[in-house]
Amino acid sequence: MNDSFSEHEELLLRSLDAPVSAQDREKLAALMQSEFALRRQSDQYSRIREMMLRQQSDSFGPFFAERIINQLKQRVNEIDYLIFFFFKKYQVLVVGVLVALLIANILLTDQFSLRAIFGLDKPATEDIYSIDAYKSLPQ
Amino acid sequence: MSMKEDLDEVLIEKSRSGDMAAFKMLVVRHEGKVAGVVRSMLGAIPEAEDVGQEVFIKFYDSLNKFRGESQVSTYLIRIAINLALNELKRKQKANARYASLENAGAIGDAADTMDLKELLDYEFHQLDPDFQAVATLRLIEGYSTEETSSLLGIPLGTTLSRLARAQHKLRMALSKKLKP
Protein backbone atom coordinates (compact mmCIF):
# COMPACT_ATOMS: atom_id res chain seq x y z
CA MET A 1 0.00 0.00 0.00
CA ASN A 2 1.30 3.48 -0.87
CA ASP A 3 1.66 5.41 2.41
CA SER A 4 2.79 8.70 0.91
CA PHE A 5 0.37 11.30 -0.34
CA SER A 6 0.62 14.22 -2.66
CA GLU A 7 0.98 17.82 -1.58
CA HIS A 8 -2.58 18.51 -2.74
CA GLU A 9 -4.01 15.61 -0.79
CA GLU A 10 -2.01 16.72 2.26
CA LEU A 11 -3.57 20.18 1.98
CA LEU A 12 -7.02 18.64 1.64
CA LEU A 13 -6.50 16.51 4.77
CA ARG A 14 -5.12 19.44 6.74
CA SER A 15 -8.16 21.52 5.84
CA LEU A 16 -10.40 18.86 7.40
CA ASP A 17 -8.77 19.00 10.82
CA ALA A 18 -7.02 22.32 11.26
CA PRO A 19 -7.59 25.94 10.32
CA VAL A 20 -5.88 26.80 7.03
CA SER A 21 -4.78 30.23 5.90
CA ALA A 22 -6.94 32.23 3.48
CA GLN A 23 -4.29 31.69 0.82
CA ASP A 24 -4.37 27.89 1.28
CA ARG A 25 -8.17 27.93 1.27
CA GLU A 26 -8.19 29.71 -2.07
CA LYS A 27 -5.55 27.36 -3.43
CA LEU A 28 -7.57 24.32 -2.32
CA ALA A 29 -10.75 25.70 -3.87
CA ALA A 30 -8.95 26.20 -7.17
CA LEU A 31 -7.46 22.71 -7.05
CA MET A 32 -10.86 21.19 -6.33
CA GLN A 33 -12.21 22.91 -9.41
CA SER A 34 -9.46 21.65 -11.65
CA GLU A 35 -8.58 18.19 -10.28
CA PHE A 36 -11.12 15.43 -10.59
CA ALA A 37 -8.92 13.06 -8.51
CA LEU A 38 -8.81 15.51 -5.61
CA ARG A 39 -12.59 15.97 -5.75
CA ARG A 40 -13.01 12.20 -5.58
CA GLN A 41 -10.57 11.96 -2.67
CA SER A 42 -12.45 14.69 -0.84
CA ASP A 43 -15.68 12.75 -1.34
CA GLN A 44 -14.06 9.52 -0.11
CA TYR A 45 -12.68 11.21 3.01
CA SER A 46 -16.09 12.71 3.77
CA ARG A 47 -17.70 9.28 3.51
CA ILE A 48 -15.07 7.66 5.72
CA ARG A 49 -15.43 10.37 8.36
CA GLU A 50 -19.20 10.17 8.27
CA MET A 51 -19.11 6.39 8.76
CA MET A 52 -16.63 6.68 11.59
CA LEU A 53 -18.76 9.23 13.40
CA ARG A 54 -21.65 6.77 13.23
CA GLN A 55 -19.52 4.09 14.94
CA GLN A 56 -19.78 5.95 18.22
CA SER A 57 -20.69 3.67 21.09
CA ASP A 58 -22.09 4.94 24.36
CA SER A 59 -22.49 1.94 26.60
CA PHE A 60 -20.90 -1.30 27.73
CA GLY A 61 -24.34 -2.85 27.98
CA PRO A 62 -26.87 -3.08 30.79
CA PHE A 63 -25.80 -3.26 34.45
CA PHE A 64 -22.23 -2.19 33.74
CA ALA A 65 -22.12 0.06 36.83
CA GLU A 66 -23.56 -2.74 38.99
CA ARG A 67 -20.86 -5.12 37.77
CA ILE A 68 -18.14 -2.65 38.79
CA ILE A 69 -19.64 -2.07 42.22
CA ASN A 70 -19.93 -5.84 42.76
CA GLN A 71 -16.32 -6.26 41.73
CA LEU A 72 -15.21 -3.57 44.18
CA LYS A 73 -17.30 -5.07 46.99
CA GLN A 74 -15.95 -8.51 46.22
CA ARG A 75 -12.42 -7.13 46.39
CA VAL A 76 -13.11 -5.59 49.83
CA ASN A 77 -14.48 -8.96 51.01
CA GLU A 78 -11.38 -10.70 49.70
CA ILE A 79 -9.14 -8.31 51.65
CA ASP A 80 -11.22 -8.86 54.80
CA TYR A 81 -10.97 -12.61 54.30
CA LEU A 82 -7.20 -12.42 53.80
CA ILE A 83 -6.80 -10.45 57.03
CA PHE A 84 -9.05 -12.95 58.88
CA PHE A 85 -7.24 -15.90 57.33
CA PHE A 86 -3.85 -14.48 58.28
CA PHE A 87 -4.83 -14.14 61.94
CA LYS A 88 -6.60 -17.49 61.94
CA LYS A 89 -3.49 -19.15 60.57
CA TYR A 90 -1.26 -17.72 63.28
CA GLN A 91 -3.64 -17.50 66.23
CA VAL A 92 -2.87 -21.08 67.42
CA LEU A 93 0.85 -20.37 67.20
CA VAL A 94 0.54 -17.08 69.13
CA VAL A 95 -1.58 -18.66 71.91
CA GLY A 96 0.89 -21.58 72.08
CA VAL A 97 3.88 -19.25 72.52
CA LEU A 98 2.08 -17.30 75.28
CA VAL A 99 1.22 -20.49 77.17
CA ALA A 100 4.82 -21.72 76.82
CA LEU A 101 6.15 -18.44 78.21
CA LEU A 102 3.80 -18.63 81.18
CA ILE A 103 4.82 -22.23 81.93
CA ALA A 104 8.50 -21.35 81.61
CA ASN A 105 8.00 -18.46 83.99
CA ILE A 106 6.26 -20.69 86.56
CA LEU A 107 8.99 -23.32 86.33
CA LEU A 108 11.85 -20.83 86.55
CA THR A 109 10.45 -18.79 89.42
CA ASP A 110 8.90 -21.76 91.22
CA GLN A 111 5.99 -19.55 92.21
CA PHE A 112 2.36 -20.01 91.30
CA SER A 113 0.89 -16.62 92.22
CA LEU A 114 -0.53 -14.50 89.41
CA ARG A 115 2.01 -11.79 90.20
CA ALA A 116 4.83 -14.25 89.61
CA ILE A 117 3.25 -15.69 86.48
CA PHE A 118 3.04 -12.25 84.92
CA GLY A 119 6.45 -11.23 86.19
CA LEU A 120 5.05 -8.75 88.74
CA ASP A 121 7.07 -9.94 91.71
CA LYS A 122 7.23 -7.65 94.70
CA PRO A 123 10.25 -5.45 93.95
CA ALA A 124 13.08 -5.06 96.44
CA THR A 125 14.12 -1.57 97.60
CA GLU A 126 17.48 -1.81 95.80
CA ASP A 127 15.63 -2.50 92.56
CA ILE A 128 13.72 0.73 92.91
CA TYR A 129 16.58 3.05 93.89
CA SER A 130 19.81 3.01 91.96
CA ILE A 131 23.05 3.03 93.88
CA ASP A 132 24.05 6.31 92.21
CA ALA A 133 20.92 8.00 93.48
CA TYR A 134 21.77 6.74 96.96
CA LYS A 135 25.30 8.16 96.73
CA SER A 136 23.99 11.60 95.82
CA LEU A 137 21.95 11.83 99.03
CA PRO A 138 23.39 14.23 101.69
CA GLN A 139 25.59 12.26 104.15
CA MET B 1 -17.29 25.50 37.22
CA SER B 2 -20.38 23.94 35.63
CA MET B 3 -23.15 22.17 37.55
CA LYS B 4 -22.01 18.90 36.02
CA GLU B 5 -18.49 19.33 37.40
CA ASP B 6 -19.94 20.46 40.75
CA LEU B 7 -21.92 17.25 40.99
CA ASP B 8 -18.85 15.20 40.03
CA GLU B 9 -16.91 16.86 42.84
CA VAL B 10 -19.63 16.04 45.37
CA LEU B 11 -19.80 12.44 44.16
CA ILE B 12 -16.03 12.06 44.36
CA GLU B 13 -16.00 13.41 47.90
CA LYS B 14 -18.69 10.92 48.92
CA SER B 15 -16.93 8.07 47.10
CA ARG B 16 -13.73 8.84 48.99
CA SER B 17 -15.56 8.23 52.23
CA GLY B 18 -16.71 4.82 50.97
CA ASP B 19 -20.14 5.72 49.56
CA MET B 20 -20.57 3.07 46.85
CA ALA B 21 -23.86 4.56 45.62
CA ALA B 22 -22.03 7.82 44.86
CA PHE B 23 -19.31 5.96 42.97
CA LYS B 24 -21.93 4.02 41.03
CA MET B 25 -23.46 7.33 39.96
CA LEU B 26 -20.05 8.49 38.74
CA VAL B 27 -19.77 5.30 36.68
CA VAL B 28 -23.22 5.82 35.17
CA ARG B 29 -22.44 9.47 34.35
CA HIS B 30 -19.16 8.70 32.58
CA GLU B 31 -19.73 5.22 31.13
CA GLY B 32 -20.66 6.64 27.73
CA LYS B 33 -17.42 8.53 27.17
CA VAL B 34 -15.28 5.63 28.34
CA ALA B 35 -17.28 3.10 26.28
CA GLY B 36 -16.93 5.32 23.22
CA VAL B 37 -13.14 5.39 23.44
CA VAL B 38 -12.58 1.78 24.51
CA ARG B 39 -15.04 0.16 22.10
CA SER B 40 -13.88 2.29 19.21
CA MET B 41 -10.29 1.30 19.79
CA LEU B 42 -10.81 -2.35 20.62
CA GLY B 43 -13.97 -3.07 18.69
CA ALA B 44 -16.94 -5.05 19.97
CA ILE B 45 -14.92 -7.73 21.72
CA PRO B 46 -15.44 -9.11 25.24
CA GLU B 47 -12.09 -7.64 26.35
CA ALA B 48 -13.51 -4.16 25.73
CA GLU B 49 -15.79 -4.42 28.74
CA ASP B 50 -12.95 -5.82 30.86
CA VAL B 51 -10.87 -2.78 29.95
CA GLY B 52 -13.87 -0.55 30.71
CA GLN B 53 -14.17 -2.09 34.18
CA GLU B 54 -10.44 -1.73 34.75
CA VAL B 55 -10.70 2.00 33.90
CA PHE B 56 -13.25 2.62 36.64
CA ILE B 57 -11.47 0.38 39.16
CA LYS B 58 -8.21 2.25 38.55
CA PHE B 59 -10.15 5.49 38.98
CA TYR B 60 -11.61 4.22 42.27
CA ASP B 61 -8.13 3.31 43.49
CA SER B 62 -6.80 6.75 42.63
CA LEU B 63 -9.70 8.76 44.07
CA ASN B 64 -7.49 10.12 46.81
CA LYS B 65 -4.89 11.21 44.26
CA PHE B 66 -7.46 12.96 42.05
CA ARG B 67 -6.94 16.67 42.72
CA GLY B 68 -9.65 17.94 40.41
CA GLU B 69 -7.20 19.81 38.18
CA SER B 70 -8.79 18.21 35.13
CA GLN B 71 -12.39 17.18 34.58
CA VAL B 72 -13.40 13.68 35.64
CA SER B 73 -14.22 12.75 32.04
CA THR B 74 -10.80 13.91 30.84
CA TYR B 75 -9.10 11.97 33.60
CA LEU B 76 -11.11 8.84 32.78
CA ILE B 77 -10.46 9.11 29.05
CA ARG B 78 -6.72 9.32 29.69
CA ILE B 79 -6.89 6.11 31.73
CA ALA B 80 -9.12 4.52 29.07
CA ILE B 81 -6.73 5.38 26.23
CA ASN B 82 -3.70 4.05 28.09
CA LEU B 83 -5.40 0.78 28.98
CA ALA B 84 -6.87 0.35 25.49
CA LEU B 85 -3.46 1.03 23.93
CA ASN B 86 -1.87 -1.56 26.22
CA GLU B 87 -4.53 -4.07 25.25
CA LEU B 88 -4.08 -3.30 21.53
CA LYS B 89 -0.32 -3.66 21.74
CA ARG B 90 -0.68 -6.90 23.70
CA LYS B 91 -3.09 -8.25 21.09
CA GLN B 92 -0.86 -7.16 18.23
CA LYS B 93 2.07 -9.02 19.79
CA ALA B 94 -0.06 -12.13 20.23
CA ASN B 95 -1.36 -11.88 16.66
CA ALA B 96 2.14 -11.40 15.28
CA ARG B 97 3.18 -14.54 17.11
CA TYR B 98 0.44 -16.69 15.63
CA ALA B 99 -0.36 -15.06 12.30
CA SER B 100 0.77 -16.89 9.20
CA LEU B 101 0.93 -15.83 5.58
CA GLU B 102 -1.89 -18.27 4.88
CA ASN B 103 -4.16 -16.45 7.36
CA ALA B 104 -3.22 -13.08 5.88
CA GLY B 105 -4.32 -14.37 2.48
CA ALA B 106 -7.60 -15.62 3.92
CA ILE B 107 -8.35 -12.19 5.41
CA GLY B 108 -7.54 -10.58 2.08
CA ASP B 109 -10.12 -12.82 0.39
CA ALA B 110 -12.69 -12.15 3.11
CA ALA B 111 -12.27 -8.41 2.56
CA ASP B 112 -13.88 -8.83 -0.84
CA THR B 113 -17.09 -10.12 0.71
CA MET B 114 -17.23 -7.57 3.56
CA ASP B 115 -19.53 -4.59 3.24
CA LEU B 116 -18.07 -1.11 3.46
CA LYS B 117 -18.83 -0.67 7.16
CA GLU B 118 -17.30 -4.03 8.08
CA LEU B 119 -14.25 -3.34 5.97
CA LEU B 120 -13.80 0.09 7.55
CA ASP B 121 -14.02 -1.49 10.98
CA TYR B 122 -11.53 -4.17 9.99
CA GLU B 123 -9.07 -1.73 8.40
CA PHE B 124 -9.39 0.69 11.31
CA HIS B 125 -8.26 -2.04 13.67
CA GLN B 126 -5.30 -2.84 11.41
CA LEU B 127 -3.91 0.66 11.95
CA ASP B 128 -1.02 1.27 14.30
CA PRO B 129 -2.43 1.63 17.87
CA ASP B 130 -1.14 5.21 18.14
CA PHE B 131 -2.98 6.11 14.92
CA GLN B 132 -6.11 4.40 16.21
CA ALA B 133 -5.99 6.46 19.40
CA VAL B 134 -5.82 9.74 17.47
CA ALA B 135 -8.52 8.68 15.00
CA THR B 136 -10.81 7.46 17.79
CA LEU B 137 -10.70 10.73 19.67
CA ARG B 138 -10.93 13.02 16.65
CA LEU B 139 -13.03 11.12 14.11
CA ILE B 140 -15.28 8.97 16.29
CA GLU B 141 -15.59 10.87 19.55
CA GLY B 142 -15.49 14.26 17.87
CA TYR B 143 -12.82 15.95 20.00
CA SER B 144 -10.99 18.88 18.44
CA THR B 145 -7.41 18.31 17.34
CA GLU B 146 -6.20 20.43 20.29
CA GLU B 147 -8.23 18.36 22.76
CA THR B 148 -6.97 15.17 21.14
CA SER B 149 -3.36 16.33 21.51
CA SER B 150 -3.91 17.26 25.12
CA LEU B 151 -5.63 13.96 25.97
CA LEU B 152 -2.85 11.95 24.39
CA GLY B 153 -0.07 14.21 25.61
CA ILE B 154 1.43 14.66 22.13
CA PRO B 155 2.19 17.82 20.09
CA LEU B 156 -0.51 19.18 17.78
CA GLY B 157 1.69 18.57 14.73
CA THR B 158 2.00 14.88 15.63
CA THR B 159 -1.75 14.61 16.03
CA LEU B 160 -2.38 16.18 12.63
CA SER B 161 0.24 14.02 10.96
CA ARG B 162 -1.08 10.77 12.52
CA LEU B 163 -4.62 11.78 11.64
CA ALA B 164 -3.72 12.45 8.01
CA ARG B 165 -1.81 9.19 7.68
CA ALA B 166 -4.57 7.17 9.35
CA GLN B 167 -7.22 8.62 7.02
CA HIS B 168 -4.99 8.12 4.00
CA LYS B 169 -4.40 4.45 4.88
CA LEU B 170 -8.14 3.93 5.35
CA ARG B 171 -8.95 5.59 2.05
CA MET B 172 -6.37 3.50 0.22
CA ALA B 173 -7.67 0.30 1.80
CA LEU B 174 -11.27 1.17 1.07
CA SER B 175 -10.78 2.82 -2.32
CA LYS B 176 -12.18 -0.15 -4.26
CA LYS B 177 -15.42 -0.05 -2.32
CA LEU B 178 -15.62 3.73 -2.11
CA LYS B 179 -16.04 4.19 -5.84
CA PRO B 180 -19.17 6.20 -6.57
pTM here is: 0.70
Evaluate whether residue A19 is within a structural domain.
Answer: yes
Residue of B26, B33, B176, B178 to mutate, interface with A, max A Cβ within 10 Å: B178
For position B101, what pLDDT does the model report? 45
Q: pLDDT higher for B7 or A112?
A: B7
In this structure, CATH architecture of domain B101-180: Orthogonal Bundle (1.10)
How many structural domains does chain A have?
1
Closest chain B C-alpha to A82 CA, distance in angstroms: 19
Q: Can you name the CATH fold of B1-98?
A: Rna Polymerase Sigma Factor; Chain: A (1.10.1740)
Contact criterion met (CB < 8 Å) for A17 and B117: no
Evaluate whether residue A34 is within a structural domain.
Answer: yes
Letter for the amino acid at A32? Answer: M
DSSP B14-27: HHHTT-HHHHHHHH
Helices (H) then strands (E): counts for chain A: 7, 0
As a whole number, mean pLDDT of residues B111-137 equals: 87
Residue-number span of the structural domain to which A16 is assigned: 7-53
Contact A25, A15 (CB under 8 A): yes
Going residue by residue through chain A, which has 139 residues, state the pLDDT in tens, using 9 for 90 and above: 456 788 899 999 999 998 899 999 999 999 999 999 999 999 999 999 999 888 777 788 889 999 999 999 888 777 777 777 777 777 888 888 888 888 887 787 776 666 666 666 666 666 666 666 666 666 6
For position A1, what pLDDT does the model report? 47
pLDDT in tens, B109-121: 566 667 888 889 8
Contact criterion met (CB < 8 Å) for A48 and B172: no
As a whole number, mean pLDDT of residues B30-51 equals: 90
Q: pLDDT higher for B180 or B89?
A: B89
pLDDT in tens, B95-108: 765 554 445 555 55
- Dist CA B139 CA B113 (whole Å): 25
Q: Where in chain B is the domain with CATH 1.10.10.10?
A: 101-180
